[in-house]
Structure 1
Amino acid sequence: MALMSWTLHGDGRAIAADAVVTPRERLTWPRTIGLGAQHVLAMFGSTFVVPLLTGFPPSTTIFFSAVGTMLFLLITGNRLPSYVGSSFAFIAPITAAVASGGESAALGGLVATGLLLALVGVVVHFAGTRWIEVTMPPVVTGAIVMLIGLNLAPAAWGMVEASLGTALVSALAVILITVLFRGILGRLSILLGTVVGCIVAALNGEYDLTAVKDAAWIGLPDFATPTFDPSVMLMFLPVIFVLIAENIGHVKSVSAMTGEDLDPITGRALLADGVATTVAGLGGGSGTTTYAENIGVMAATRVYSTAAYWCAGLFALLLSLSPKVGALIAATPAGVLGGLSTVLFGMIAVLGARIWGQGKVDFGNPVNLIPAGVALIIGAANYTWQVGDLQFEGIILGTAAALIAYHLMAAITRWRDAANPVASPAYVEGDEQGTARD
């Protein structure tokens, strides 16, 4: 079967009650195009927030999410339906990198992360995932995800201070929309909450649309080139653990829903996400990950066709070619961003706890309790350590503390008493999708 061909599912119009449209099938093209547009709406609420919080150009970020999605589909042989959007896990290291070395240095960190993730993908393709499960048990992965969220807390408060009232309304809007609406509206709570917040900000005179009026309707995004600073690149290393968990979770989630064995392409998925992040870093976009929002759309529609994702990628590409759209996104008031970031950063932190729960981590055992606790304090307080020209901050130090303390304590425990097993089982897949992103 050719890479860019799909088999028509039935008559292409209807899906039987007990059937699904598999990745290499499609509905009629009008229906497939409509599903692609729905996937763009689902991803947009999260993808546009990342450049707003990091200062990256929104149009450039959307452009590279579209390019990354199409690269992902190519590398996985059109077998794994996915939209590749901006990862929230990159917000903290990008913010720190921009503050210390500028945007170009942050892009260098993205390139380094992407290349390392691609290398992990190659190793997984040939060696399997067992080594990841041993290196990254749930207690470690959960602690890393949680400390990333806690490390971002001061940044959220800095934006809330700009307009407390607008921030409260924005956060409340996201919360209410999430629980009041089902289907696509509920999945667009971030986007709709932003709209509500912007309306309030406009009524309060906080919304400046001058740049939107001056922007052209059609034009290329603003591209940029990376520079490579070892001290900055080190800030991005912990994100690797998050991206690995997200991609593995994505593969297993889609496999469970479609009934297809997709484990053999796990390595390709990691490689593809690494390539997408590398390309984004080379051109000025943000780091990428597979999106849980789009898994939700697939679960609701039972359509897993990769053809719909090609349509989504093309729609997003067209959207990125309008500077006016980028200017409108960039004009989002700080108070609105403060409300959104309070919800989003808190979700990142709590997702770490979800990993602990799914992995059945026993915190009655000090081997689990101490590494996680130490890592969280280091990350939340943003400990720093200067070694020559290199500066290590809270996320990298907390990650190192979790890994070293856990494996050291586990090894000593096994040596001391082989009959007393370590209380964190090997990585057990639950539904890791969304980890440190949404």
Structure 2
Amino acid sequence: MNKQEMVMDVQETPKLQKWIMLSLQHLFAMFGSTILVPFLTGLSPAVALVSSGIGTLAYLIITKGKIPAYLGSSFAFIAPIIGATAASGPAGAMVGTFLAGLVYGVVALLIGKLGLDWLMRILPPIVVGPVIIVIGLGLASTAIDMSMYVPGLDENVYSGTHFSVALFTLAVTIVASIFFRGFFGLIPILIGIVSGYIFALFQGIVDTAEISQQWTAITSAGSIWGVINALFQTPDFVIPFADYSPLNVLNGEIVLLMVPVALVTIAEHIGDQMVLSKVVGRNFLKKPGLHRSILGDGVATIIASFLGGPPNTTYGENIGVLSITRVFSVFVVGGAAVLAILFGFTGMITATISSIPSAVMGGVSILLFGIIASNGLRMLIDNQVDLSDKRNLVIASVILVIGVGGAFIQLSENLQIAGMALSAIIGVTLNLVLPGKESGYGNGAMFDDSAVDTNGHQNDVA
């Protein structure tokens, strides 16, 4: 990247009016995906916004203000959070989120001391790629159920109205993804949700009671302070030791649900950092260091667990904003984090989010969950993993069938290893015991420090 192409460097501070507009771009880019995760898992979207904002600020501090990355809700943890909540309630999901953050911290320490070779041996592309595919396809039934059936009923009741809303939302999201350019091409999820919401209003399936209550409270306020009190409200935080005792919730099932996913998302994080290094023209893997970046992710996830939000991860949507605007200022990203926190405390915004019909989210999810699965396939292709090699073919096949098929091992009455966790464990085991490990690495670009040259610019990797 030529220096002339850069509009604003990492440490530059924009003027206030421009600062707000640039930060709003980042906020809108992450907004749709960040609120979708808590919507699907039963957590609070307002808490997710607050935790993503605070987590991003913590990340910027830990990385010494040298990596312009925004952190939002991680899609990889949707199924584990649902499982942990079913097993131990929302508290179980938060304990699991805390464990995921600890895994990030441990891996960061090991990378800082030992480098990346040990992680490469455990999680080569031939394991990570198929597991990511399992994560996406494992959520497929959730997207279809939300799209086709009337929500809130004990039995599935097909609704043509709900399905039409889902398909309309999906169509708009696809059109925005393919045909929109510039900034609007980076927010197809938000465009799809807004368009689907408007269509759902005309179909009569939007419950606006909470919005009406918020509006009544604002309009009936007798003073400016009354308006402020009506406009802002504290999100439904889930605080450890205040709302629950973590030690009473912790069990083996939560560990097995959350920890394997954390290892997989760490591998994705490394890929994100390589892409970000290429976009900005700096070697972030070396300075401030990959260990700091992963630690930042871990701390942000632990912060989320203390508030009641889902695990956080760096967002590709915001990397896209950086690529288009060429504005790399961490102050702009930090501004988006502050705005996210303010949005989380704004009652009208959270009421509007809560009123979004499940069919709208289902329509968006059809595309998003498919993209997750496709990203796993892309990882295999980008790393040139040879699937004509019998060893690779066996590992990928076993991971896919066990993960998508829903196989599980019952360890006790209340403890089982199931789905993605089981497929990941078996995939790692097969990779370690079968001969010819080199073939599973492909070209090794995902983990290879040589993918970024000594001048801090990432080389092109196939």
TM norm structure 1: 0.89
Tell me the residue number matched to 1:397: 422
Tell me the residue number matched to 2:382: 358
SS at match of 1:219: coil
- Where in structure 2 are the equivalents of 1:191-340 lying within 5 Å? 191-215=190-214, 216-224=230-238, 225=240, 227-264=249-286, 265-340=289-364
Moved more, 218-227 or 60-69: 218-227
For 1:310 and 1:207, the matched residues in 2 are separated by: 34
For 1:33 and 1:124, the matched residues in 2 are separated by: 36
Unaligned runs of 5+ residues in structure 2 are 150-161, 215-229, 241-245, 452-462
Counterpart residue identity of residue 164, structure 2: G
Counterpart residue identity of residue 104, structure 2: L
Q: Is 2:170 the counterpart of 1:183?
A: no
Tell me the residue number matched to 1:422: 439
How many pairs align? 410
How far residue 103 of structure 1 moved from its aligned partner, in angstroms, is: 1.1
Tell me the residue number matched to 2:12: 25
For 2:347 and 2:408, the matched residues in 1 are separated by: 39
For 2:202 and 2:253, the matched residues in 1 are separated by: 44
Unaligned runs of 5+ residues in structure 1 are 1-14, 415-420, 433-438
Moved more, 60-69 or 190-199: 190-199
For 2:6 and 2:337, the matched residues in 1 are separated by: 26
Moved more, 61-70 or 263-272: 263-272
Tell me the residue number matched to 1:60: 47
SS at match of 2:356: coil
Counterpart residue identity of residue 312, structure 2: T
Identity, % of aligned positions: 35
Q: Is 2:425 the counterpart of 1:408?
A: no
Tell me the residue number matched to 1:143: 130
Counterpart residue identity of residue 167, structure 1: A
How far residue 30 of structure 1 moved from its aligned partner, in angstroms, is: 2.9
Closer, same or farther: CA 153–305 of 1 in aligned 2, 3 Å: same
For 2:66 and 2:118, the matched residues in 1 are separated by: 24
How far residue 430 of structure 1 moved from its aligned partner, in angstroms, is: 8.9
For 2:41 and 2:104, the matched residues in 1 are separated by: 22
Q: Is 2:120 the counterpart of 1:133?
A: yes
For 1:430 and 1:266, the matched residues in 2 are separated by: 11
How far residue 384 of structure 1 moved from its aligned partner, in angstroms, is: 2.0
For 1:174 and 1:371, the matched residues in 2 are separated by: 34
SS at match of 2:69: coil
Deviations 1:324-379 (A, max 9, x none): 21121121112112111111111111110000001101111111111111111111
For 1:197 and 1:261, the matched residues in 2 are separated by: 40
How far residue 383 of structure 1 moved from its aligned partner, in angstroms, is: 1.3
RMSD: 2.0
SS at match of 1:91: helix
For 1:327 and 1:108, the matched residues in 2 are separated by: 27
Tell me the residue number matched to 2:226: none
**Contact 2:406-2:418 within 8 A present in 1 as well:** yes
For 2:372 and 2:177, the matched residues in 1 are separated by: 16
For 1:341 and 1:233, the matched residues in 2 are separated by: 26
**Contact 2:65-2:330 within 8 A present in 1 as well:** yes
**Contact 1:42-1:187 within 8 A present in 2 as well:** yes
Deviations 1:88-125 (A, max 9, x none): 01111111222222111111110001111111112112
Closer, same or farther: CA 407–69 of 1 in aligned 2, 3 Å: same
Tell me the residue number matched to 2:455: none
For 1:314 and 1:212, the matched residues in 2 are separated by: 24
**Contact 1:144-1:238 within 8 A present in 2 as well:** no
Counterpart residue identity of residue 376, structure 2: G
Counterpart residue identity of residue 233, structure 1: V
Q: Is 2:103 the counterpart of 1:116?
A: yes
For 1:387 and 1:305, the matched residues in 2 are separated by: 50
For 1:66 and 1:423, the matched residues in 2 are separated by: 37
How far residue 203 of structure 1 moved from its aligned partner, in angstroms, is: 1.4
**Contact 1:138-1:426 within 8 A present in 2 as well:** no
How far residue 426 of structure 1 moved from its aligned partner, in angstroms, is: 6.2
Counterpart residue identity of residue 297, structure 1: V
- Where in structure 2 are the equivalents of 1:34-113 lying within 5 Å? 34-113=21-100
For 1:150 and 1:351, the matched residues in 2 are separated by: 11
